[in-house]
Amino acid sequence: MTDGIRLNKVYKSYPTTPEKWAVRDFTLEVKNQEFFCLVGPSGCGKSTVLKLIVGLEKPTSGQVQRPMGISMDFQSGALMPWLTVEENVAFGLKMRGDGAQKIHDLCNKYLEMVNLQHFSEKYPRELSGGQRQRVGIARALAVEPQALLLDEPFSALDSITTDELHKDLLAIWKQTKITIIMVSHILEEAVLLADRIGVVVDGSIRGIMEVSMPRPRKDSDKDFEREAKKLKELMV
Amino acid sequence: MSTVRHYHHSFRYSYETSLRKHFLLIGIWAVFIIILLLLAFYFIEPSRALLKLEDLSLTGLTLACFATFFRLAAAYIFALILAIPLALFITKSPRLEKILLPTFDIVQSVPVLAFFPVIVLLFVKVNFFEGAAIFVLFMAMLWNIVFSMVGGLKTIPQDIEAAAFVFGSKGIRKLTTVTLPAVFPYLIMGSLLAWGQGWNILIVAEVLHNYIPGGTQSQDLYGLGSLLVNASYQGKNLPFISALVAMVILIGLMNFFIWQKLLHLAERYKFD
């Protein structure tokens, strides 16, 4: 098992008429502990790539190499409404068969990391969109994966909440030193967060851009506009 | 931030705790009812009670309520045990669903009473009269639960299915930790409709003598349904009204103590 994530000439089609290629000739290597973003227009195959990486979908051809521990957060949070916040965070740990004390300690640790330690008895319906997203992230981190996949986690949130979560995500990434692959359709978000950005068009990687700006980054920086413009040019 | 309180405070337990608690309560009630029923049948001979309706006492009426409830509950449990795997099987693949769903749609629209005489004769042959009633009630209840559950299975969000996969919830564990909780509101609605169907069919299910060649009232099963029919047939107004009022009270009690609480609990399981 590799530490990084590799996709080698991956193709994925669906049995529709006519046959639809969601991903074609997709080759990508994401290094260990890297923050990588996939951007592209809607329907270009970004989410399908994530599903291939985590194993939700099998490639039609090609190879996918992934680390042992891989976890995912979803756009909607995908929280179980009948479970409390703590039970949602504990979900993966219970499936793994961890002991009660270990589960409790890990839940506390990651709920503190996302600043929701006082919300452990609440149900998802009692939380705001941003809080649900934090719980989703805590659940994904609680299994202590080597890689974390995020499928447009902030697209349903307002800009203020998104800015807060951006800062929190970067802090968590710095603390946990895991590999992150995030899908986004917002170019500015990718420039703000990622080490490298892959542009996906029609199921293939059009190009990869390295973001040379040092962190912390602000969208008011003069270099920011230049990087965002470079990225837009790659997409055209 | 104000707390949005959708649930009664008594349901603010963890999922596992409340599931255990509710099943324990159901189990205790079931044992209690069965014990009462067995004791009552020991002291009263139900077959003679239907012939002497003028002697119908409160004890006899209560026994009839328990007997009817017991039959409906037994039929419901069998229906639930079959409906869950049936619904899961139907939705296993789009191809299966295309074939099975219309098939079962046709099967469920065939009136169960159309083949009731055959069923009765089969059970009479093995001297198991209760089986005939429970089977008919079971067939009446089954399809409501199946189709409600199929509807519920199709509304489970894809993200939830994906999350279950990502976090290692598979097979039976996925069934108990994700699938069944996700369809719980639909199961409750289906069960409500199923019991409604059961009450509808009850009058026929307990009155077996009409379907047995040379049958007599002594072959009817003692319960609210047979009390209503036999009181009506014998022109006994007081037992008829008593049985009707008892049925209404029983349905009302079930609604208050069981269905309302389950419907309230089901709110917790609904996706936004």
Q: What are the tens digits of pLDDT across the range B61-104?
A: 888 888 899 889 889 989 999 999 999 998 888 887 888 878 87
When CB atoms are compared, the residue of B1, B157, B181 closest to A76 is B157
- Give the pLDDT of residue B213: 72
d(CA A151, CA A72): 8
d(CA B215, CA B227): 17
Q: How many domains is chain B built from?
A: 1
Q: How many alpha carbons fall within 13 Å on the CB side of residue B145? A: 27
Q: Please check whether residue B2 lies inside any domain of the structure.
A: no
- Do A149 and A166 belong together in one domain? yes
Q: A84 and B14 in contact by Cβ < 8 A?
A: yes
d(CA A90, CA A143): 9
Write out the two tokens for A1: 């098992």
A155 touches chain B (CB under 8 A): no
Best interface-test mutation with B: which of A16, A53, A80 has the largest number of B CBs within 10 A? A80
Q: Are strands A147-151 and A70-73 parallel, antiparallel or unpaired?
A: parallel
Q: What are the tens digits of pLDDT across the range B117-137?
A: 777 778 878 877 788 888 889
Among the candidates A117, A144, A171, a domain finishes at A144
Residue A160: CATH number of its domain: 3.40.50.300
Distance, in angstroms, between B161 CA and closest chain A CA? 9
- Do A151 and A205 belong together in one domain? yes
Mean per-residue pLDDT for A185-202?
A: 92
Q: How many alpha carbons fall within 13 Å on the CB side of residue A163? A: 6
Q: Which residues of A27-39 are buried (b: 16+ CB within 10 A; e: fewer)?
A: ebebeebbbbbbb
Residue B187: CATH number of its domain: 1.10.3720.10
Instruction: Please report residues of A whose CB lies closer than 8 A to that of B169.
Output: 91, 95
The overall average pLDDT reported for chain B is 82
Instruction: Please report residues of A whose CB lies closer than 8 A to that of B12.
Output: 121
Among the candidates A144, A170, A186, a domain finishes at A144
- Do A112 and A225 belong together in one domain? no
- Do A112 and A156 belong together in one domain? no
Instruction: Please report residues of A whose CB lies closer than 8 A to that of B157.
Output: 76, 78
Q: Which residue has the higher pLDDT, B47 or A216?
A: A216
When CB atoms are compared, the residue of B3, B14, B269 closest to A81 is B269
Q: What are the tens digits of pLDDT across the range A76-125?
A: 889 999 999 999 999 999 999 888 889 999 999 999 999 999 999 999 99
- Do A185 and A81 belong together in one domain? no
Write out the two tokens for A211: 């973001």
d(CA B235, CA B224): 16
Domain, as residue range, for B103: 13-39+55-269
Domain, as residue range, for A7: 1-69+145-236
Instruction: Please report residues of B whose CB lies closer than 8 A to that of A94.
Output: 177
- Do A150 and A136 belong together in one domain? no
What is the value of pTM for the model shown? 0.84
Q: Please check whether residue B8 lies inside any domain of the structure.
A: no
* Cβ neighbours of residue B34 closer than 8 Å, sequence gap 6 or more: B70
- Do A10 and A111 belong together in one domain? no
B131 touches chain A (CB under 8 A): no
* Chain A residue whose CA is closest to B173: A95
Q: How high is the ipTM of this complex? A: 0.91
- Do A183 and A126 belong together in one domain? no
When CB atoms are compared, the residue of B167, B269, B272 closest to A82 is B269
Q: Please check whether residue B234 lies inside any domain of the structure.
A: yes
Q: Please check whether residue B108 lies inside any domain of the structure.
A: yes
Residue B47, pLDDT above cutoff 70: no
- Do A155 and A41 belong together in one domain? yes
Residue B219, pLDDT above cutoff 80: no
Among the candidates A144, A175, A198, a domain finishes at A144
Q: How many domains is chain A built from?
A: 2
Helix axes A129-142, A100-113, angle to 10 degrees: 130
- Do A175 and A231 belong together in one domain? yes
